[in-house]
Structure 1
């Protein structure tokens, strides 16, 4: 347990993604605003990472609204961070940033800047970058898949909401696994029902696990599905 936790590190120094302070510049009669986003994050390394010279896959995990804008320790309450804290080992790196805004959506551009920074400073196979998120983080995962269709090898979304037009913008070759509880009273299961139906109509590779009698906390079952991580590990982008 202790050995595992020693590799599950909080990078306490905040990542400065853009400017040190918001400021405006007059550029040929146009105003340009430069802003910043500070992200705290956990970064997990597999046990054999430091004894190997090979490149590893990386799983980006986005938590839900309940862990936003709080002590970063709270993101260990759900998903892969919870499992890591309990001693589970994974075959790939896990990047788990924290949304610093309690009431705002994820800043997906900032997340990608962080992701790229971590990928470029570690031995990460860029064709094996995986994406997952729950609730508000699930919604952000759908958004990331539309904005950066060439980045991810596979995606798993747990009880996230998404506009149906996103289906047309997602990489047609990226496998997707969706999880949702049919008694969800926060994000209606129809969000996933309709998106999965649309993607399947378009011939996409989609799995759907629809839990009977489960509410919004479908992540409790989804992220303890061992086959999910085997599924991720077997995926690779073909460029």
Structure 2
């Protein structure tokens, strides 16, 4: 006959009692949370905006990590804001917020709250809201496309990182244009290669500009591509 040590029996009994005690203190509760974010931003109006009562499209631009959490003026160093400073005119409004955290990802929920507020207080065609971002802002653009698949008419992403499963949540009716340098040593070009391949396999309308011998600063070429903005202006959501 196998004998059980008294000490072992006592230990088992204590563990069973502790398990029962833990289960008896499992309490269901609920807490309503509130997320607040202080977003500085620039808003561009086309030249003829104030001469007509027409509705206009709007391009949401999300900058990269280098402009995060610093002087808001630095937003003007890249992308469409840089081109505006240089004198380029666009046929739609441009909303350029600043990520207030130097070392954190974009708070995409806060960005959408800002976007909705700007749309509601201006003459914006809700079927012509466009999305673009570079580097960290490109990654946030992919995230926004998954979380708000019914909001944007088109999206352009420049050297952005993206988890491949995002492809399953992106609206198939939203045209996408991806830009990436094949020598990018910050966010590898394979991020875009794999995402574009997956989206195309799923039937998405995707353009891909893969720059040869270009590093992480692919935005310098991508955002000076005039056809990008004519492409944006042609897109419109159909509900």
- The TM-score, its normalising length taken from structure 2, stands at 0.87
Pairing 1:122-133 to 2, within 5 Å after superposition: 122-133=122-133
Structure with a larger share of its residues in helix: 2
Residue-by-residue CA offset, 1:17-47 (whole Å, 9 max, x unaligned): xxxxxxxxxxx94343323111000000000
Pairing 1:107-186 to 2, within 5 Å after superposition: 107-186=107-186
User: How many pairs are equivalent?
Assistant: 212
What SS is found at the alignment partner of 2:76?
A: helix
- 1:17 is aligned to none
Paired with 2:102 and 2:134, the residues of 1 have a C-alpha distance of 15
CA apart distance, 1:149: 0.2
CA RMSD in angstroms, aligned pairs only: 0.9
Paired with 1:83 and 1:29, the residues of 2 have a C-alpha distance of 51
Paired with 1:236 and 1:131, the residues of 2 have a C-alpha distance of 12
Pairing 1:1-239 to 2, within 5 Å after superposition: 29-239=29-239
What SS is found at the alignment partner of 1:32?
A: coil
- For structure 2, the 5+ residue unaligned runs are 1-27
- 1:23 is aligned to none
Paired with 2:77 and 2:95, the residues of 1 have a C-alpha distance of 15
What SS is found at the alignment partner of 2:96?
A: strand
Paired with 1:32 and 1:111, the residues of 2 have a C-alpha distance of 20
Paired with 2:32 and 2:234, the residues of 1 have a C-alpha distance of 44
- For structure 1, the 5+ residue unaligned runs are 1-27
Paired with 1:201 and 1:35, the residues of 2 have a C-alpha distance of 37
- The TM-score, its normalising length taken from structure 1, stands at 0.87
Stretches (4+) displaced over 2 A: 28-35
Paired with 2:105 and 2:84, the residues of 1 have a C-alpha distance of 25
Structure with a larger share of its residues in strand: 1
What SS is found at the alignment partner of 1:39?
A: coil
What SS is found at the alignment partner of 1:30?
A: coil
CA apart distance, 1:203: 1.1
